[in-house]
Amino acid sequence: MDAKELLVYMKQAELQAELVVEAGQQLDRAIKQLHDWSEDWDCQRRACEDMYDAVHLILIHSYQLSRIFWPAKCCGELGLDLCHRAMALRSEINLPDLNHPLRNEALWRHADELDHSVRDNTALRRYQAHHLTGFNQVITWMDNEAMFCWLEPASKTFVFHAEEFALAQLLDAVHQVQQDIQNFLNKQHQSNLKVAKAGVHHYEKQWGAFKIRQDRSCPQLCCYDYLSNLINP
C-alpha cells in the first residue's frame, strides 16, 4: 500500500472516529436531559429517543471504524490485500492485532440488525415494550433475553439481543484512536511541508527568484510568490 492510499484510509478512519465522538456527546446531552426532565413524561420519552439515536450512531460508526482496521475475513487475493492493508494501518498508529475494544465480534455479528432495529421506534407500543431505559434491577417484568434493546444511562451499558456493549469503554477507545490518527496525519502534513519548502528553495536557486522579483510581468515570479505564500502564509 503506497503513501497516498494509506492517507485515504486514515482520513476515512478519522471521519468515522469523529462521528462516534460526536454521537457520544449527543448521548451525554440526552442523559442530562433525562435527569433534568424527570417529572415530564413527554420530555422523558423524547430524551430516550435521542439516547437511542445516539447509541445507533455510536455503534454503526464504531463498526465502520472497526472494519477499517480489522476487515471481515475474505478468501483469495482480495482477502490477502485486505489483511495486509489493515496490518499496515494498525502499525502506523500502534493498534494491537487482537485485544482492542473496537475488535468486537458482538458488534460485527449484529451490525446489520443494529442498523435497522435500534432506531425502529416509530410505533409507540413497540417503543414502550422493547426500547427500555433504566436500571436493570428495576425492570422486573422482562428477563434479559426477552429484551430487544435496553440502555442503562448511569453506566452507559447497552443490551441488544442479550449481548452487552460497554459504550463508555468503546467511546474511550475511539477517542484514543482519533487522537492517534490525528497525530499521524499531523506528522504527514509536516513532512509534506518540508518537501514543499525544499521545492521552493530549489526553484529559487534555479531561476534566480530574487532577481525576477523586480519584473512583475514575469510568470515565474507569480509562481514563486504563490508557492511562497503556501509555505509562509
Nearest to 34 by CA among 133, 135, 164, 157: 133
pLDDT of the residue at 143: 46
Q: Which of 67-76, 82-91, 128-137 has the lowest mean pLDDT?
A: 128-137
For residues 120-147, one letter each, b for 16 or more C-beta atoms within 10 angstroms of the residue's C-beta and e for the rest, the string is ebeeeeebeebbbbeeeeeeeeeeeeeb
pLDDT at position 219 over 80: no
Q: Considering the entire predicted model, what is its pTM?
A: 0.72
Sheet with 157-160, strands from edge to edge, namely 131-133, 149-152, 157-160, 163-166
Q: Range with the lowest mean pLDDT among 54-58, 114-118, 137-141, 158-162?
A: 137-141
